Amino acid sequence: MEFFTLVVLVAIGTYVLKTKEQARRIRLLGSHLGQYQIEKLMETLTSGYLRCLGETDAARQAQIWALLDQSEATLASQFGRFAAGFAKVDEAEARISKLPVALPYADRLLPVGTFDARQAFAIHARGIADAAANRAGQTPKAKAFTMSAELFLMQHTCHWFCRSRAVASARLQVRHQTSHALALASVSPATRAAYRELTGV
C-alpha cells in the first residue's frame, strides 16, 4: 500500500512539474510569436493553395498564385524577424529534449540529449525564405508543396518546444493529415540536411 501511494505521489509530482515547465515554454514562445501574424498567414496560404489547385480557369489561377506570392513573402519576412528575436533567448531556456515524451526538466538534466530551438528556428526561417523566393525555380504547384512542408515542419518544432516530440507529431497528423516523416521528406534538401544534423532525426 505504501509503495502504491509513493508511486501515485511521484506521478502527481511529475505531472505538476511537467505542466509548469510546459506553461513556461508556451509563455516564452508566445511572447515572441505574439508580435506577428504567422499563424494567420499560414492559414491563408494553406487554404489558398487548396483553392488555387481546385481552380479550373487558368487566368484566375494565375491571379490567386500572385496573391499567394505576396502572403508567402510577408510570412517569410515575419518569421525571419521572429527567429532573429528568439535568437536572443538564453541558451538554457531554448533547449529542446530529444526524448519522445515530455519529462520535467529533461533538457537540463540530460543536456546531451537536446538541441537548440534558436538554431532550429533559424533553419526554418531560411527554408521558408528560400521557398518564398522560389530559389529552386519550381512550378507554382511544386513551390506550394515545398512551402507547405516547410511550414508544417516549423509548426512541428514549435509544438515540440512547448510539449514533446510525440505531441508535436500527433498534432501535425491531426491538423494537416501529414506525418513528421513526410513533412521532413518534402522540405528542401538544405532544410532537411540542416534539420537532421541539428535534431538527430
Torsion of CA 38, 40, 42, 43, to 10 degrees: 170
Euclidean distance between CA atoms 168 and 199, whole angstroms: 14
Q: Is the pLDDT of residue 101 over 90?
A: no
C-beta separation of 98 from 200 below 8 A: yes
- The set of residues, in sequence order, having a beta carbon less than 8 Å from that of 88 and lying 6+ positions away, is none
Rounded to the nearest integer, the mean pLDDT of the chain is: 89
Q: Is the pLDDT of residue 133 over 70?
A: yes
- The set of residues, in sequence order, having a beta carbon less than 8 Å from that of 5 and lying 6+ positions away, is none
Euclidean distance between CA atoms 100 and 50, whole angstroms: 32
What pLDDT does residue 100 have? 77
Euclidean distance between CA atoms 23 and 191, whole angstroms: 29
Mean pLDDT of 165-173: 96
Q: Tens digit of pLDDT for each residue in 105-127?
A: 666 666 778 999 999 999 999 99
Euclidean distance between CA atoms 161 and 179, whole angstroms: 18
Mean pLDDT of 48-52: 92
What pLDDT does residue 20 have? 74
CB atoms within 10 A of CB 171: 16
Mean pLDDT of 152-169: 96
Q: Is the pLDDT of residue 9 over 70?
A: no
What pLDDT does residue 105 have? 63
* 57 band by pLDDT with thresholds 50, 70 and 90: confident
